[in-house]
Structure formats: structure tokens, C-alpha cells
Amino acid sequence: MPVDVAVYNGELAVANQKNVTVFTKGAQKPTRTLTASGVVAGSGTAFDSKGNCYFSFSTSSGASVDEFKACNGKPQALSISPGSPYGIAFDGKGNLWYTSYAAAGPGVYECSGVTSCAQVYKALNFINPQYLNFSKGFTDLWIDDPANYQCYCTGLYEIDVATGKEVGRIISDMSFFDPPTGVAVAPGPL
């Protein structure tokens, strides 16, 4: 079951529950399948500016992110912490951003490249942020948060990257029982 997608130069990477399937431009069937070890459930995929692809997933002991050079071959496990990486995306400077939810430090994190990660958006009171993606020009970051059944805060949040302030929120017709389940690649301003 597909859970997230990423596109780079016409190549499509699809994160599934157990692996990443890659489709070359125009392919109707996967061109290759990338596997990581210890996957309990896949959660995200992203490309960096060099065409390397990444797969975030939960394990029996937490969460992990693997890098596949040139979106091929064997994975290299990254040491991504704190939090438990779920949704992943790269900014225009090649820095990995990820969400972490539930008891693992809910919020949004930024890394320097793919190391030295720190929480950057905690004060926005996220409950279960899952997927994220940048708008055109990397000026805004969109995050979906299905929240929980106890609040009326399920929605899509637009954050100004420079200031870290919420500049938009879409909550109409969304609930914990009918939440958003992803953010399109480079959605641009609505």
C-alpha cells in the first residue's frame, strides 16, 4: 500500500508499507524495489538535489531513515535524532526536514544536511504532525496533522520558514476521523 511519493527528474519513488518502489519516466510497473532492514511500517520518501532517495520507516525499536545513493542499491542507515522521523522532505539548501509525532517529541525538525538535527517548530502545538513539504521557492512549509479525537485541530498548516510562524491553516471539512493524509510536492501558494 503506497503511503508517500517523491519525484526527481521524472523518476517516481513510492514509499510502501515495507519498501520503496521506483518508476522511471513513463513506466507502468516498478523499475526497481529498494528494501531496508527492520521495517515495520514505511512512512515517507524524498529525494535530495543529487537524486539520492530516502525512506523513513518505523522499526520495532523506534524509527529510521535510510539513504539510497542514486536511488539504487543497498541502503545506508542514517542516524537521525531526536524524535522519530515520519514524513521527510529536503529544503533548497539540501537539509533534511522531518516530522515526529506522538510521544516521540511532536513537532518539525531540521537537519544540517542529514546530520545534526534539532526541533524547530514545537511551539506551534502540533499533536501528530505526519507529512510535510515545501512550497515553491522553499519559503513556506506545509504540514498535515490528523491530531486526535479530543481536539478540533486536524488540518493542514502553512509555516513561514524564515520566521517559524503559522501563516495559514486549513481545517474546514477535516477531522480526526477524516484527516488529511499527505502534502503535495511543492504546492505553491493557495
pLDDT interval class at 104 (50, 70, 90): low
pLDDT at 189: 39
Please determine, for residue 151, whether its predicted confidence score (pLDDT) is greater than 60: yes
Strand order in the sheet with 76-78: 41-47, 53-59, 62-68, 76-78
Establish if 118 belongs to a structural domain.
yes
Q: Is residue 71, in this structure, part of any structural domain at all?
A: yes
pLDDT at 174: 67
pLDDT category at 107 given cuts 50, 70, 90 is confident
Q: Is it the case that residue 11 has pLDDT exceeding 80?
A: yes
Domain-embedded: residue 50:
yes
Domain count, the chain: 1
Which of 150 and 50 is assigned the larger pLDDT? 50
Distances (CA, A) of 81 to 41, 86, 161: 18, 12, 21
What is the domain range of residue 34?
A: 2-134
Answer whether residue 179 shows pLDDT above 60: yes
The answer to whether position 124 is within a domain reads yes
Per-residue pLDDT at 13 exceeds 60: yes
Once rounded to an integer, what is the mean pLDDT over residues 152-161? 83
Contact residues for 93 (Cβ-Cβ < 8 A; gap 6+) = none
CATH of the domain at 43: 2.120.10.30
The predicted pLDDT at position 68 comes to 97
In-domain check, residue 185: no
**For residue 56, what are the β-bridge partners?**
44, 65
Say if 31 falls within a structural domain. yes
Quick check: is 175 in a domain? no
Residue 173 falls within a domain, yes or no? Answer: no
- What gap in Å lies between CA 17 and CA 5, rounded to an integer? 12
